[in-house]
A and B are shown apart, each in its own frame.
Chain A
Amino acid sequence: MSSTPVPPDGDAAADGSTTDPVAEPVTIQGHWDFGYTYFAGASASRFFNELRLNQRIMGTHCPTCDRVLVPARGFCDACYVEIDEWREVGTEGTLDSFTILTTSFPGLPEPPTVVGYVTLDGASTALLNAVHGIDLHDFDEAGALLLTQPRVRVVFSDKCEGRITDFAFELVAADA
């Protein structure tokens, strides 16, 4: 290999780029498409199976901090103790926070969609899920309604599969 610099064959363009084909930037396309099998573990499995089989939302109670953690889990990370006392929480709660998502992902419902964190009655932590039944023709109008922190209730799908998408929230006042 020569150690002598090789002058470019082409001329420099007015914008400073070169017409030298040897200097043309090379790009390639890359794509990661691996399959994973995620193990939910005993506590989360029971949480999802309760959704599928019994249409119940379950939490686990930490005896140290007295919180009911939803979704259920096998340990309290704040107190750092194992927990296995199961409690069913309510199917109504208050919308703590929300956003209107506008990003599209394959396999997910077409945006715009509303998702929100809801602290269900009897729970100490909030649970994220879709909020259905909101008129999204005017985001500002929809947002103004949701900023009032309305009460919402859980509505289960007709066919539950043991997934977080087995249920969604809808406004309690929608048909009140």
Chain B
Amino acid sequence: MRATRPNDDEEVDVQRVYVHGTAVSSSWADGSASLTDLIFRCVRRALDDARMPVGDLEAVVLAAHDLVDGRSLTNMITAPAAAAFLKDETRLGDDGAAAFVLGDARIRSGSVRTCLVAAWGRASEGPADDIARALFDPFTTRPLGMTEIGVSGLRASRALIEHPEYAEHRAAAATRRGEVEGAAGRIPAAAWPLRDTELPIWGDVVSAVVLSSEPGPVEVLGAGMSTEPFELGDRDLTGLPALRSAGEQALREARRSIDEVDVLEIDALTMFDEALALEAVGATGSGRGMEALALDPRLDPAGARSVGYCAPAMGLTRIARAVQRVREGDGALALASGSSVVAAQTQAAVVLGRAEGHDTTHGRSCR
């Protein structure tokens, strides 16, 4: 397979990469399971889905946050539960989609033939608002009570200023996201103009994906990553240039256009973030992101919301969900992305395609 380098367009030979197995687990405050239990069970299911013995794994890439896990150097505790024992392991303090891109790169480069990617976050163990506030700069933004939801509120107000048409479609978009049973106590405090139905539902989420250079049901056709400034005042809050760049890289590498994509799994904290993200990847035109959330058949907003939300698991969850949808025949070409803290500063995007002539029905993503 040939890939194109971003700066000079030179083509280089790389290995092809396939997704062989996925698993996503979703729960809330299950006292019968420790964090490592949750990780082990989900990774075990991903390996089973891939029909891959753990001995065949050559590398592991993990995404986790110490603050979310409430454990300093959390990977010391959690990595063995994620099949990292005596493996080539990479630890990442970023979103799971970025971990996926690194895992993809390990295989693409020829360094390894198989790689497990896992990400998790257990919102029920820690104070989500306090953790979110601790992410911000202690001099300029933390003293003002800023949180991730607060940034989303800023972004939402800016979106309403630039795109008054968002107001027309937000109720329909929220309805399509659907109610989630028993979620009332797991929705964060809103930051106006956000409404409760536009917010995430905190969850205990683990995601795992098994990659291999051997042909499998879904191929990784392209990947991209990009980073914005830390200072929010320097950023284009509605344009999301890092996501735009990551998406363009992924599509260019896949030699596909956004118009060919028929499955979209774009990670975002709130509904406004997701609407703007759809515009950033070119899935819809300027000002039409909220309408797309309400109507676009390439999206499955209820599916994403039902899992719950906890960084840094969500980008990999979106990728696993995209793989599942391709396997189930929702479409043949998917674009999935993951956004990091702080306030979606770092973005990773991947293009996934159904591998021709391969049985896509074996194994299931599980919850």
Contact = CB atoms under 8 A, between A and B. Distances in A.
B31 A115 contact: no
Contacts of B234: 69, 77, 125-126
A32 B161 CA distance: 40
B139 to A, nearest CB: 6
Interface string A81-107: 000000000000000111111110100
For chain B, the bracket of interface size reads: 35 or more
Contacts of A36: 138
Nearest to A119: B233
Given A77-B229, A143-B193, A103 B158 contact: no
Given A48-B139, A128-B144, A143-B157, A32 B189 contact: no
Interface string A3-35: 000000000000000000000010100101000
A99 B144 contact: no
A146 interface: yes
Interface in A51-80: 69-71, 73, 77-78
Contacts of A130: 144
A83 to B, nearest CB: 13
B155 A27 contact: no
B144 A165 contact: yes
A75 B143 CA distance: 23
Interface string B43-61: 0000000000000000000
Interface in B5-27: none
A136 B104 CA distance: 49
Interface string B105-123: 0000000000000000000
Contacts of B139: 38, 40, 44, 48, 71, 164
B193 A70 contact: no
A157 interface: no
B154 interface: yes
A99 to B, nearest CB: 3
Contact of A103 (B31, B138, B189): B189
A132 B145 CA distance: 15
Nearest to B130: A105
Interface residues of A, number: 48
A172 interface: no
B237 A97 contact: yes
B150 A115 contact: yes
B191 interface: yes
A102 B190 CA distance: 7
Contacts of B146: 101, 115, 128
Contacts of B191: 99-103
A129 B188 CA distance: 22
Interface string B343-360: 000000000000000000
B154 A108 contact: no
B223 to A, nearest CB: 24
Contacts of A103: 129, 145, 147, 149-150, 188-189, 191
A32 B70 contact: yes
B157 A129 contact: no
A143 B32 CA distance: 45
Given A77-B229, A117-B233, A128-B232, A100 B140 contact: no
B179 interface: no
A164 B140 contact: yes
B145 A139 contact: no
Interface string B125-145: 000011001000011110111
Nearest to A73: B231
Nearest to B228: A77
Contacts of B156: 99
A128 B140 contact: yes
A97 B155 contact: yes
A105 B231 CA distance: 22
Nearest to B128: A103
A101 B232 contact: no
B315 interface: no
Nearest to B237: A97
Contacts of A139: 192
Contact of B133 (A44, A105, A109, A127): A105
A62 to B, nearest CB: 11
B145 A105 contact: yes
A97 B143 contact: no
Contacts of B138: 36, 38
Nearest to A45: B139
B160 A165 contact: no
A113 interface: yes
Interface of B: 31-32, 70, 129-130, 133, 138-141, 143-147, 149-150, 153-158, 160-161, 188-194, 229-234, 237
Given A27-B31, A98-B157, A99-B193, 5 more contacts: A44-B139, A99-B156, A101-B145, A101-B146, A143-B193
Q: Which 5 pairs show the lowest CB-CB distances between chains A and B?
A: A99-B153, A25-B31, A100-B192, A126-B233, A97-B158
